[in-house]
Amino acid sequence: MKWVLIVLGILLFLVGGVWILQGLNVFTQGAMAGKSQWTLIGSIVAAVGIIIEVIGATRRKKVKTA
């Protein structure tokens, strides 16, 4: 489960980064280009990705008891 959170966090961070760049009109192709709301949405998604990544990285392995 730990690696799933890390991978999910990385994916959210990357998607958020693309949305930020589209909102800032760095990536000029697509319907989201140059629309500032995508900068805000991308920032939120990227921040959630970082949080999930940190939770996954700091999660301890459960010790099974008999």
Confidence of residue 21 (pLDDT cuts 50, 70, 90): very high
Per-residue buried b or exposed e for 30-64, using 16+ beta carbons within 10 Å of the residue's own CB: eebeebeebbebbeebbeebeebbeebeeeeeeee
Dihedral sign for Cα 32, 36, 41, 43, please. Answer: positive
Please determine, for residue 66, whether its predicted confidence score (pLDDT) is greater than 70: no
Stretch 3-14: mean pLDDT: 94
If you ran DSSP here, which 8-state letter would residue 33 be given?
T
- pLDDT at position 15 is 96
- pLDDT at position 65 is 74
Query: Reduced to 3 states, what is the DSSP secondary structure of residue 34?
Result: coil
